[in-house]
Structure 1
Amino acid sequence: MNAITTLFRHLMAKRRTLAGVLPALCLLGYSSLQAGSYTLPEELIGASEGFLEFTVEDYLERSEIQARYEIRINPLDPRLRLAACDSDLTQTLESPAQPVGRVTVKVSCEGSSPWTVFVPAQVRLFRPIVVATRPLKRDQVLEPADVSMMEQDIGPLSRGYLTDAAQAIGKKLTRPLQADQVLTPTTLEVAESIRRGDQVVITARSGTISVRMPGEALSDGVLGEQINIRNQRSQRTVRARVVGPGQVEVEM
């Protein structure tokens, strides 16, 4: 093999190498240029997440709520192609008014090629709230052992919730509850301090003088309510104010 043949083969091999490399380099350059021409879904997700973090923390601070939060941005169509924005993206909370539960972030470009896209997300707020420790019956008056605190996502609790067990103790249930079920304001009512037929102590006051006598409640009554009481000594019916369990007071 002479020197000319060797040189020819070397040039042909180099040509084949360049023929394979050049299209790949061109394709890489085209892909980079193409990516730079669009706002990618990942950018929209990042902008929405950052906006929601700021919005949720501001909401918690203004509302003086101690809560842990989680933010999840729903997946976007990877085929989404929006023009690259030559200005800062703007974000607003489209719905609802408060950043809790299912929310929608409006992301807009106000540059030379304006566009708007709506990004769905979910914000979960977790707070310790009052729940039942065991199955409870309707009309049951709650005691400390009947309730406890448990961290729950408050977003779905449209009927409300309690953040202090003291708000429930001594109240009566309007319906039965299961273990770990959330107590709401609508499941509680003030328990009667006195029930119809109860034997009570009537205290009659006049200035610094007070007289006590036995009586019988003619109706149910809660603390502070005026109810009819039969004086068992005179058999007269009087109006008296409930001041405690089994205790009523009349003004003379």
Structure 2
Amino acid sequence: MAVANGTSKTQPEVGYPSQSTALLERIHRSHQYVGEEQDSIHQPQVKLRILVVGAGLGGLATAVALARQGNEVTVLEQAASLGEVGAGIQIPPNSARLLLKWGIGPYLEQYAIKPDSMTFRRWENGEPIGYTKLDSDFAETYGAPYFVIHRADFHRALHSLAAKLGVEVITGSRVTDYDEAIPSASTSDGRQYTADLIVAADGVKSRARPVVLGGQDPPPQRTGFAAYRAVVYSKDMKDDNDTAWLLERPGINIWYVINITSPPDTVPH
């Protein structure tokens, strides 16, 4: 029961997915997925020259967002070319809504899939132990679908959009030093790039870390975990009796490999 102004009101029943997402449902009810929704590109009162270091997904997305605000954006990438690396990328609705406003909707519709569910399974026998619904109800509730796409296709879409917005991506440019006083970034081939704002998006080994941290750059701590990614052709899976069933519907399957039981009278860690 909820009490407002001295009167009792019965809370309305909330169906799928649960009471815990009722607030999100109300917030995003007015932002329904329309496939190619785009908002306007702003023209700022002051146009900044912005330098983004790193042309990965984060760097290109940052460049797109800043260019859409009317700024002049240049991206420096140490690789000689933007290659196709990585595996699958999941794009949940909170990210998809922004991408659709940027105009990537048609590209996602062409290269991404929209899984209808996510199933969690036991490693030993594949038995389902959890299930999440991701179909049209999900898009209607959260304002955008749940996309799954290859990282290379996603990266290509962001790069193409950045180019359309006038972003210059300069490859073969490894940043070796920063000068906060100018501010500027220097590359290994002796070039210097000045800007009003510099955004470092080149990972944990970025040369910007000691600059931001005041000269200190503690090395990343190893967690002991590793991730192995692979891509398999769907035709090969269809031709194999052990994997063909995975392609019967556009869904995500997740197997829990580790199954450890703590000894009696001990605290798991």
Instruction: Tell me: higher relative CO, structure 1 or 2? Use CA pairs within 8 A at least 6 residues apart.
Output: 2
TM-score, structure 2 as length reference: 0.18
TM-score, L = length of structure 1: 0.19
Larger radius of gyration: 1
Higher strand share: 1
